[in-house]
Amino acid sequence: MLTRNLRVTEPDAARIRIIRRTGWKKFVLYNFPAFFWLLVIFTLTGLAGENFGESNLFSGDKIIHALLFFILVTLSMQGFNKQQLFPNLRYESGFYALATGFLFSGLTEILQGLFLQSRSADPYDYIANTVGCVLGWLFFNFIVLQKR
């Protein structure tokens, strides 16, 4: 009996297709800043390492690394929260934004160590990137979401 009421009629199917199409457009629109920022990070981490000086845990270079990934996580959480195409991504935006930041941070360090002659994989860079990710998550959760 209940299945008869749940049948999708032709107008409903067309409406669902339109919602999915606009959902993808909005997903791309809302997440474009984070995708663009990933390209910026990838470009900046590919620059020659001699330009940045000595590497230690408290150098200015590490502050830049933390800031880059702070912005990435903040933009990712903003895009994930606004989109409605993937409900799980929306409601668990913090987890997915942190996972994206951590994975991309590790990937950039591995690629620097394997393929770039002018750069090396630096564990301090990964630590700074991770700190930036966590600070971005804290900022978004406790500052941005509290204002809503």
* Highest averaged pLDDT of the listed ranges 46-50, 87-91, 95-99, 110-114: 95-99
- The pLDDT-based confidence of 10 (bands split at 50, 70, 90) is low
Domain that holds residue 50: 7-147
Per-residue pLDDT at 84: 86
How many structural domains compose the chain? 1
Q: Are 73 and 137 in contact (CB under 8 A)?
A: yes
CA distance 50 to 59: 14
Long-range contacts (CB closer than 8 Å, 24 or more residues apart) made by 47-50 = 47/118, 47/119, 48/118, 48/119, 49/118, 49/119, 49/120, 50/118
pLDDT at 1: 46
> How does the average pLDDT of the chain come out, rounded?
83
Residue 22 forms part of a structural domain:
yes
* Amino acid identity at 114: L
**For the residues 58-77, what does the mean pLDDT come to?**
90
Q: What is the pLDDT of residues 25-45, one digit of tens each?
A: 889 999 999 999 999 998 888
Residue 138 lies in a domain: yes
Q: With respect to residue 115, please indicate whether it lies within any of the assigned structural domains.
A: yes
Provide the whole-model pTM: 0.79
- Asked whether residue 133 is domain-assigned, the answer is yes
Q: Is residue 2 part of a domain?
A: no
Does residue 60 lie within any of the structural domains?
A: yes
Task: Decide if 1 is inside a domain.
Answer: no
Eight-class DSSP state of 9 = P
Q: Would you say residue 136 lies in a domain?
A: yes
